[in-house]
Structure 1
Amino acid sequence: MFGINGPEFILLLLIGILVIGPQRLPEYTQKLTNLVKELRRMASGARDQLKEETGVDLNEVDWRKYDPRQYDPRKIIRDALVDDGTEAAASAAAAGVPAVTAGVAATATVEAPAPARTVERLDAGERAPFDTEAT
């Protein structure tokens, strides 16, 4: 917590008690207690409001499912390639081709060829069109 270890915290606490003084110490202790209670009440209210608006209880959420450390991009790509070409993977497996290669082959055959690119050229001496609203 803020890079403060145990003995340093106790020393700061003792200095704070000496600065505040014994007359004002109960008052500040009560203020700290009220602050902690208010923060707990606000957190509870936010949790209840989230549950009311979304219908999801935070205690029921499986947080491990959202842990980004569990995702391996290579595995995700491999699974996606195998899922896309399951028919091709089954036929390729019979032919002895690995499933990942079959998935790549299945996706490569499905893609349509790129449309031909047309390039419009200006005649010699012709000025390029100029759009005043675009600049």
Structure 2
Amino acid sequence: MPNILDAILGSLSTRLAARILLTFVFWSAGVAALFAFPERVAEMAHFGLQPAPLYAATTTVWLLLGSAMIILNRAAWLGAASLIVFTALTIPIAHAFWTMPQPERTAHFHVVMEHVSLVGALLAAAILCHDRKDR
């Protein structure tokens, strides 16, 4: 069994799939924004980010570029760091649960906890990509 496990976990295909899946939430949001840019602009305006078109464009590029860096394992540590910053910034901007009434407060609290876990996963990915260069 250890040989099978080593083969699966050591496989470049498995490692690539892991990077694609880890970044799915980011690159899929970036792709969606490309096809629904006016909605992305409206979202930025809703959260008080002005000029909304600039924020929409910047976040779209940020999500796609950070994801690509991790998926391709090219400066993955930088891609992970950028997505960590993005994820952390969404907490006070879009998920400030401490300012919300119930039941919205609890729902956003759980989203924040998921964001914290995602930050940990991105940090782990940066460490693993740095330790092993998959090309």
User: TM-score band (shorter)?
Assistant: under 0.3
Between 1 and 2, higher relative CO (CA 8 Å, sep ≥ 6) is seen in 2
- Bigger Rg, which one: 1
- TM-score computed with the length of structure 2 as normaliser: 0.25
Structure with more helix by fraction: 2
- TM-score computed with the length of structure 1 as normaliser: 0.25
